[in-house]
Every structure is written in structure tokens, then in C-alpha cells.
Structure 1
Amino acid sequence: MQRRLIEVIAALLAASPLPALAQDTHDHTVAPAVPAAPAVPAAPAAEARDEKHNHTDQTAPRTPQLMPGYGDGGFAISGASAEAQAFFSNALELHAAFAHTAAVRAAKHAVQLDPACVMCKWGEALIDGPTINYGKDAKERVPLLALARQAQAGTRSASARDRALTDALVLRYRPGDTARADRAYAAAMKGVAERFPGDNEIAWLAADALMVGSFAQDDGYDRGMMDQAIVLLERVLARSPKHTPAIHFYIHATEVIGKPALAEAYADSLPALAPRASHLVHMPSHTWYWVGRYQDAADTNRRAVEIGKANARALGIAEPDGVWNLPYHAHNVIYGLGGALMAGDSRTALDLARPLVERSAARDKAPPWSQLLAASGYFALARFDPAGALAVPEPKLDYLKAARRYARGEALVWQGDLAAARAERDAIPESIAKGPRKDWPKDATVAAEAMLGITRAVLDGRIAMAEGRFADAATAFRKGALLEETKEFSDFTDPPAFWYPVRRDLAAALLAAGDAAGAQREAQASLDLRKLDPVAQQILAAARLALGKGAAVQLR
């Protein structure tokens, strides 16, 4: 399942119905982070692009240097000096690891080292182009077209491989509709891959092009292009199972088509293959979360967060922004929270949540989707630190104010103060949006508004459960589940913006009401949404036991 937009969102910046089942039972110890590569102070943050096209993942060192530990993806080119070749290959490695700024600077340095190296110019034009997470508008493509044409002109007497690569890249940057250009480039690269079927590097570049082209439309993705990318990546992995760019894009592609388990074996090996690439250390969680390995998703993101912190310190990025200037950092934090909340790992959840809450509460301006994701910090306080949820100051932003109200309501239910919990529920507005805004994607506002309804419904259900009104609780939880499972909400973020499937609450309410068959049905439906959810598994086991079927959990 595809939740690609969260990568863009990341650049901007709940308690269980059965507490005994969801209680955290361990104090998780995280392996120390791999230290960042030595670096000199980074360029000032003011050099960053506007957020819409911000490609910053790893802020590049001011003095160009090779950066090992980011996997592979580079290849030999003819006519380059040894030093230019080294930076060219490293630029492609960084590019494949989504260390965008560092990749562009390495590619530019390769050109500076050897101005006669036409494939170095091709590399710069390629790497500074669009990715599956960030687009390039027509204006931004103008200088890249000039570079691509220079490379194309210089490869007339070069190898067939070089000519094919440069001819294809010119198509990406031709004037006109950028979506059409991306699809033309994807088709050309697919043809290049067919001409050179044993070339792993051409194959992953073609797969990347097909994935970008697949998303070059207003709604959803092109399944045919995604399937073509998967075929190319599987051929690479059959030959080279530890090829890091192929693993990276295969994880993305198999998640998009809803078959994340296909990438599981490869995902397991990725962090050790690229130990300094925070994004690649993070990437297995896109597989692990959806196959039910929530603790693994929490652990790898916590490690990615620590790598990001080490990189920020080594690069001299000033506080208070510090590591938050690395946009994928927020995505790592939120993904780690998603895994930790589902796994019941209180230590990881709170370690990630408290800085997120503090950071988001200090902001006085942020679009709805940014607030929607920051809400996960409040959810962690509600589940693992009720006293902290009651003590946290009110933030400045409206959607975060609502998230805090929800967290306080959860904490008050556990304290038994149902009147106060009801007051918090009533303080969550039914709507905050004041009409559409051109700078806010429509689906982002829809998702943020849906969260208001979900949290109101969940608190209604919590209060009803505490009062023994199980039928009313089931009605409230069903309402919340239906809102959570709408396409606009469920497809918007990865991991899901609301941390657990409300349908498992519905199952618990039905079980409490004596409807074991209904509880079994809804618990299984919840497990279809989140594989191996331990709380839903125990509800299902209890329902089966009540039905006389034994406690064995049957998973589909």
C-alpha cells in the first residue's frame, strides 16, 4: 500500500481498550548508532530550497569528500579521471540512498574535477532531477536539460551504453508537461534496460524512472509501470541479492502494490549494507510494519534517528533546529512511533514522542498534514505517560490542540474521571478547516479533518466502555473505524496517522456485550488491516474461546 506523501510531509516540519493486553512489558535497549562519516560544518540552513521541492536528507559537507557507508549503485565510466570517477560513483550511491543534497554536490564536484567528463555531466543532470518523493517543476528542469544535452553531444563517439543513457535523459527534461516527460523518460529507460539486460545499474535506474513515471498523475499510480519496475528489480536481486538500490526501490514498490512480504528477506539485510545511510536504515520498516514486525520497525527507526542526530552534530547544524533540519528525520521519528505504539514499546515511543511534542508545540504556523503527523507524539503520551499527557502545555496550532484534547481524554478515562474526559471530548471540534487553500493539498485537509472525527468517536467509545454501555461503545467505535478506513485517510500517511486500527476496539466492545461471533469477525478484520497486532490477536483468541473454538488465533 502506497503512502508516498508522507515523505513530503516529513520535510515540513491512545490507549488500548484492554490495558492488560496492551501493557508494555519490556524495557527495550537499542543498539548504539553507527557514527556518521567525518565531516566539516555544513552550509547555513538558509541555503535550503523551499519546502515544496526540498531534496535535503543529508546536508552535504562544505568541503567535498567521499562519503562511504551508503550502499552501492555507482558504476565505471570511460574517460574520467580517477578522482572524478570516485565522486561520480559516490554521487550515485548517495542518490540511491536519498541523501539528495550530498549526492548533488558530489556529482557537481565530479564535473569540477574533470570538466571533460561528459558522463559526469549526465550524472549531475540525473541526480538533480525528480525522485519518487520530490518533483521538479518545468523551471527547475531548464538548467538540467542544458546539462543533459551537453552530455548527449559529448557521447556521440562514446559507447552504446553511454549514448543510450544520455539520449534517454534528454527526454526527461524537454519543455512542456513534466508528467508526460517523466513517462517518456521511463519508457526510454525501460528500452535501455532491455538492450542491456544484465546491467544491474541500468536496471535500477530504469526501475526508478518507471516508479517516478508511475506517480506522474493526479490520482494513485500506474500499476503497469510499477509492475515493470518490480520485474527489473527482481532480476537484479536474483543476480545480486545485496544490491542496495534494488532493495531500496523494491521495498517501496512492493509496499505500493500491497505485497510488502515480497521484500522481507531483502529488507532484513539492508541496514547492515548501508550503515551510515539513515534513510536506508529506516527503509525496512516500510516492509516490517506491514507484515506485523512492529518492534523491528520501531528499532530500526530509532537507530535511523540516532544516525541523523550524529550526522547533524558532525555537520555542525546549529540548534535549536539541529537534526530537524534533515527532513527525513521527522519521517523516521513518526515511523518509529508507529512501530513502538503497536509493539507496546514505551521507552522507544516516549523517547521519540517527547521531542516531537516539544518541537511541534513551539510552532505557530504549519499546514494540517504536518500537524496530523505530529499528533502521534500526543498519542504516545496518552498510551504510555497519562500524567505527561495531562501536564503537557497547550500547543498553538488548532489540530494539535485537538490532539492534546484527545490525549487528555484518554488519560482521564484511565483515572476514572469520566466527566472530565467527556469535557475533553466535547472540546475537540467537529471541523477546523476554514475553506480550501491552494497551498494545502485537498486530501491532506480531508485527512486532518477525519482525525477529529476519529478521536471524538474513540473517546465516546472509551467513556461508554467505562460506564458499561457496551452497545453504545460499539456504535462509537464503528463510527471511528469507518472514518479511519476511508481511502482519503488510510492512504494518506505511512505509517497510518492514527496509530492502531479502531476496529479492534469494536471487537472488544462486542465481546464485552456478549457478541462473541461479532467480536471474532471484527477482530479478524482488524488483523487484516494490521497483521499480527498483539491486542487484536488476544481479542480474537478470547472471542474464539467464548465460542468454544479454543484460543488458537487464525490469521488470514
Structure 2
Amino acid sequence: MRTWMLLPLLALLPATVSDGAMTAPLSFLLADVAVCGGGDAPVSAVPEILPGYGSGGFTITTVNPEAQAFFDNGMQLAHAFAHKAATAAMARAVQLDQTCAMCLWGAAWTDGPTINFTIDPAEQKTAAGKVAAAEKLLTPASPTKERELIAALKLRYDHGGGTGSGDRAFAKAMDSLAVKYPDDDEIATIAADAWMIPTAQSSGTRNLPRAVELLEGVLKRHPDYTPAIHFYIHATEMSGFPARAEPYADRLPALAPHASHLVHMPSHTFYQIGRYQDAADTNVRAVAMGIENAKRQGLPQPGGEWLLPYHGHNVQYGVGGALMSGDAKDALDLSGPMLAAAVHSPKGPNPFLQMAMGTAYAAEARFAVPADVLALPDPGAKFAFAQAYRHYARGEAQARLGNAAGVRAELALIPESVGPSNKADFTEHATRLMLIARYVLQGRAAMIEGHPLEAAKFFASGAKIEEAKTVASFSDPPIWWYPVRRSYAAALLAAGKPQEALSATDTVLARRLHDPLTLSVRADAEKALGQTDGATRDRALATEGWRGDKAAFELAAI
């Protein structure tokens, strides 16, 4: 499963503007930094109801129908992770009906943590104050369910914030309400989310079965309930059975057409089940929406989309899917702006940002004209990891040209280390990617020189690092762009070892379902072994899943 605290949550900081251009448009925050206040929805001085963000909300006690509408919209926006707009909607509901206890409950609930970020003690105190104010507005005539929801939320902000005892107490209380009100979709969804938050923050699996059970109950009753679909995609991926969410992932974008995060969400399922082009296509749409949303919000142009907290994540996911499907156009359309923006990050060249740049460099390496790859600008000495990934890209370009000496020249410029490495600041992970890059280039050079068994040894060493939990479960999409063992399989096949190659492809396909290039190697191995039916089947699957130049099916290129 993915390590959820290490989600590639590419959040952004304000940029400086000079002569109408953004001079510092991008900052990828480390994944454990809160993105409170972020979102992809426009927020105006006087909030408006924003349609197209999916389902959510329920009838509350209010004297003002408009307050009810903003409460519902706030729930919808929050479930769609349009955080800032959700907060604004709930604030508007409170303003419209200052006697509405549940409006204050909504304002406090939207202040809470999510699976992506925690909140600090000061933020908990503020949210707790809203809950206390909601309690004071309760009257003897207040519905029992509203009293229970307020009492449950009160628990969240007593040593909560995402990982504390208050979070677990809130989850238990909401679960009890889900049992008491078995047909209430909103309560069940909030309960499932409440269980998932501390689980995600701890990168564990505890309580996921209950979250899945709650969400499946909602979806059985109402298969188009978008908050349940959103969290079900996450819960099934975290649980290791993403395919369960496929039918719901397919329908989600049409159900929430203005929510770029929900348009993006199916890609989590699609990538995990081997629908790589669909993962790319989904994020191309989400990225386009982000660009348009940034303009609607009046963010500085050009480049205002990089100020949206999930835009960078959408870009990286789109590139990751396109790399696996061979979609050169989308990979290059997405990776170019990322590389151009990243070097201006006001947050500085943190290792996570540089690893994300590595994905973009891989796209350039695989799909751009080799001369263009060799001309990519040096990101600068302060981007030491990115410099190494750029040399890797240049080495891959030389391999595409059949120039073993050129590959080795770039390999020589990739250090084994650029300084101390540890898990806390992600330098250990960034260093491991450099080591994978070195092994891959050594393998490429050996393949060009006609030494496939030697190449296989290098690819095996790279695969060992890439498949280790430290790298394999670090982020989603995978932080290293392809399964290195497929190159190992290709080298074995080139060395006349089809049975060993076939075994290696089995290992790859268990991790990266339906990977087209691995299927191509498998088809060649089966053909060499006289397994005609299998070869025909796998060749057809490889061709169906690959959108790129079929020259990529050559063993030396895999």
C-alpha cells in the first residue's frame, strides 16, 4: 500500500509578481505540511453557491433557507477537498442565521484535519470554540441527531488534529451514530472519513475495514453519492484492493464536473489497476480545470494554477500515467511547465520537489527529441538531486541514440550521494533514486554494447532498490517512473534466457498490472518458448495499452 503521509501533495506558496509575470510560481510543500485553506474553487468577497462539486449536506434546523443552501454546499465543497471555499460557505451560513447551531457545527467540521493534512493545537482551539458556540445555541426543541453530532465533534478537538486521541474518539462517536442511523449517507461517510484520517496519518491499515464497510453500505444504497466514492477510492487503494472502486471511479467525474480534485481522483484507481492512459487522461482534464480555476480566482498570471494545492499532484500523476502508457504528447505537455516552474520555487529545492522533477525529467528522457533532452537547462547547484536526474535524462537520450559512450559520460556525472541522507527530510529517498538511475544507465550502456547478461545484473540491482518498501510505497504515483525489473526481463530475453525472462515479467505484472512494455517482453519470451497462444494474447494487450511509438518494444529500449 502507499505511504499516505508521503502523498505527493504538491502544495504552493504565494508568488511574487513583476511586470505581470510570476517570478516564483511554484513551491512543493513536504507532504506533512498542512494545506489548510487550499482548494480549487473560486472564493469571492460574498460567497456564492458553487454547483458541480458533487453530493453532500442534510437538513438542519435553520430559519433561513439560504443558510441551509450554503451549509449543504459547504459540505459538498469540503468532501471535494475545495477547502477554502468550503470554509467560506460555512461562514456564510453562520452569517445568514446566527441562531443556527448546525451552521457553526459545519464551520467547525470544515476546520478539521483530512487524510492529507493535520491541524495544529491553535487551529483545534479555534474549531473547539465554534463547537462550544454551537452547543450554546441548542434549545430543548433541537433535534436529537443535531445534539449528537455536536457532541461527537466536540471530542475531535480535544487532543485531536489528525493523529490524537480526540480523532479516535470522534471516529468512534460517529460510528455509533452510523449504527443508530443506518440509512444516513452523510453520517456514514463522515464516520468512514473519521476512521481513515488517523490511519492515513500513521501510514497504517488499522480501522480501514470498518471504513470500507461503511462506504460500501452508502454506495449500495446510493452508488452516485460522490463523497462516498471519493473516500472509497482512497480506502480501497490504501487497503490493497483498488479494483473494487473501478465502477465508481468511472462515474465520478460526470457527477462532480466542476471539482478538479474529484475529476482527478479516479486516476488513483486507474493507475493501480493498470489503466495508465485513463490515469493520464483524467489528470489532463484536472490540470486544465486547475488552470481555468486559477484564472477565475484571479490568481497571478501566467502560472497562477501552481498556487492551487493539488495542481502539482495532478500534473505528476498525469505524467506518471503517460510514462506507463507511452503517451508522449501529454507527458511532455505536463512535464515541461513543471520543470520550468520548479526551479523558481520560493520554498527552496527540497528533496521532495526534486524527486517530482525527476518524474518530469523521465518524461523528457523517454519522449522528447534527444537533442532537446541534451539541451535541457541545468537547474543549478542548489538542486543537486535534480541535477542528477537531469543527467539521468540525458543518459537515457544518449541510449535512444545508441551512444554507449554518451550514456557512460552522463552516468559519471551522477554521484552516489550529494550529502547526508535520512528519512525525515526525504534525502534518503532522493538518494535512492540517484542510485536507481545509475544502475539503469549502466544497464542501458551494457545493452547497447551487446552484453545483456552484464546489463541484467545492473538492472537487477536497480530493481532491488526500486522494489524495496522505502521507494515502492513512498508515494502515489510511484516516485520512480517505471518498474526496473522489466528492463531486467528484457536483458534476460536478449541473453537467450526466455524462461527466466518470463518469470521476471510475472513479478513485474503483479506490481504494475497490464504494463504494456512488460507485456511486450512477456509476449516475446512466450514466443521463444513456443507458447503461441500466450504470445498472441500478450502482444495484443501490449499493443492495446501502448499509445506511443512501437519502437519502444525493442528490448534495448525497455
* Aligned residue type for 1:9: L
Question: In 2, are the aligned partners of 1:333 and 1:352 still within 8 Å (CA)?
Answer: yes
The equivalent of 2:258 in structure 1 is 276
- Aligned with residue 156 of structure 2, among 161, 172, 177: 172
Q: Which SS does the other structure have where 1:142 is aligned? A: helix
- Aligned with residue 212 of structure 1, among 197, 211, 215: 197
The equivalent of 2:67 in structure 1 is 84
Runs of 4+, deviation exceeding 6 Å: 48-51
Q: Summarize deviations over 1:374-405 as a string: whole Å, max 9, x none.
A: 21111111000122211110002111111100
Summarize the Cα distance change of 1:253–1:400 in structure 2 as closer, same or farther, 3 Å threshold. same
Q: Summarize deviations over 1:463-486 as a string: whole Å, max 9, x none.
A: 000001111100000011110011
The equivalent of 1:95 in structure 2 is 78
Shift of 1:549: 1.9
Gaps of 5+ in 1: 14-44
Summarize the Cα distance change of 1:483–1:319 in structure 2 as closer, same or farther, 3 Å threshold. same
- Determine the C-alpha separation between the residues in 2 that align with 1:264 and 1:244: 14
Q: Summarize deviations over 1:492-513 as a string: whole Å, max 9, x none.
A: 1101111110010000000011
Question: In 2, are the aligned partners of 1:88 and 1:120 still within 8 Å (CA)?
Answer: yes
- Aligned with residue 406 of structure 1, among 392, 411, 436: 392
Summarize the Cα distance change of 1:308–1:80 in structure 2 as closer, same or farther, 3 Å threshold. farther
- Aligned with residue 311 of structure 2, among 320, 323, 329: 329
TM (norm. structure 1) is 0.89
**Matched residue pairs, number?**
516
Worse overlay, 361-370 or 107-116 = 361-370
Matches within 5 A, 1:37-76: 52-55=33-36, 56-58=38-40, 60-63=42-45, 64-76=47-59
The equivalent of 2:403 in structure 1 is 417
Q: 1:523 aligned to 2:505?
A: yes
Question: In 1, are the aligned partners of 2:11 and 2:29 still within 8 Å (CA)?
Answer: no
* Aligned residue type for 2:9: I
Shift of 1:5: 3.5
Shift of 1:154: 2.6
Question: In 2, are the aligned partners of 1:361 and 1:394 still within 8 Å (CA)?
Answer: no
Q: Which SS does the other structure have where 1:10 is aligned? A: coil
- Aligned with residue 162 of structure 1, among 134, 146, 150: 146
Question: In 2, are the aligned partners of 1:247 and 1:267 still within 8 Å (CA)?
Answer: yes
The equivalent of 2:514 in structure 1 is 532
Gaps of 5+ in 2: 14-23, 539-558
* Aligned residue type for 1:207: A
- Determine the C-alpha separation between the residues in 2 that align with 1:168 and 1:176: 12
- Aligned with residue 314 of structure 1, among 296, 303, 322: 296
Question: In 1, are the aligned partners of 2:498 and 2:526 still within 8 Å (CA)?
Answer: yes
Q: 1:10 aligned to 2:32?
A: no
Matches within 5 A, 1:282-431: 282-363=264-345, 365-385=348-368, 386-396=370-380, 397-431=383-417
The equivalent of 2:16 in structure 1 is none
Summarize the Cα distance change of 1:326–1:12 in structure 2 as closer, same or farther, 3 Å threshold. closer
Q: Summarize deviations over 1:22-58 as a string: whole Å, max 9, x none.
A: xxxxxxxxxxxxxxxxxxxxxxx99x99982223122
- Determine the C-alpha separation between the residues in 1 that align with 2:85 and 2:349: 27
- Determine the C-alpha separation between the residues in 1 that align with 2:429 and 2:504: 23
Question: In 1, are the aligned partners of 2:111 and 2:127 still within 8 Å (CA)?
Answer: yes
Shift of 1:172: 0.6
Summarize the Cα distance change of 1:105–1:95 in structure 2 as closer, same or farther, 3 Å threshold. same
Shift of 1:176: 7.2
Q: Summarize deviations over 1:138-184 as a string: whole Å, max 9, x none.
A: 22201111111222333353112111111110101014785211111
Summarize the Cα distance change of 1:12–1:482 in structure 2 as closer, same or farther, 3 Å threshold. farther
The equivalent of 1:39 in structure 2 is none
- Determine the C-alpha separation between the residues in 1 that align with 2:439 and 2:144: 62
Question: In 1, are the aligned partners of 2:41 and 2:259 still within 8 Å (CA)?
Answer: no
* Aligned residue type for 1:515: K
Shift of 1:362: 3.4
Shift of 1:307: 0.5
Shift of 1:198: 0.7
* Aligned residue type for 1:161: K
The equivalent of 1:194 in structure 2 is 179
The equivalent of 1:104 in structure 2 is 87
Q: Which SS does the other structure have where 2:62 is aligned? A: coil
Matches within 5 A, 1:123-142: 123-142=106-125
- Determine the C-alpha separation between the residues in 2 that align with 1:263 and 1:435: 37
Q: Summarize deviations over 1:90-138 as a string: whole Å, max 9, x none.
A: 0000000000111111111111111111100000000011001010122
The equivalent of 1:508 in structure 2 is 490
Question: In 2, are the aligned partners of 1:8 and 1:133 still within 8 Å (CA)?
Answer: no
- Determine the C-alpha separation between the residues in 2 that align with 1:435 and 1:502: 23
Shift of 1:333: 0.4
TM (norm. structure 2) is 0.89
Worse overlay, 322-331 or 156-165 = 156-165
Q: Summarize deviations over 1:290-311 as a string: whole Å, max 9, x none.
A: 1111111110100000000011
Question: In 1, are the aligned partners of 2:56 and 2:227 still within 8 Å (CA)?
Answer: yes
Worse overlay, 105-114 or 238-247 = 105-114
- Determine the C-alpha separation between the residues in 2 that align with 1:267 and 1:222: 22
* Aligned residue type for 1:74: G
Question: In 2, are the aligned partners of 1:183 and 1:216 still within 8 Å (CA)?
Answer: no
Summarize the Cα distance change of 1:344–1:411 in structure 2 as closer, same or farther, 3 Å threshold. same
Shift of 1:80: 4.1
Q: Summarize deviations over 1:167-213 as a string: whole Å, max 9, x none.
A: 11010101478521111111111111111111001010111101013
* Aligned residue type for 1:113: L
Q: 1:455 aligned to 2:441?
A: no
Question: In 2, are the aligned partners of 1:338 and 1:499 still within 8 Å (CA)?
Answer: yes
* Aligned residue type for 1:377: A
Q: Which SS does the other structure have where 2:301 is aligned? A: coil
* Aligned residue type for 1:191: S
Q: Which SS does the other structure have where 2:330 is aligned? A: helix
The equivalent of 1:42 in structure 2 is none
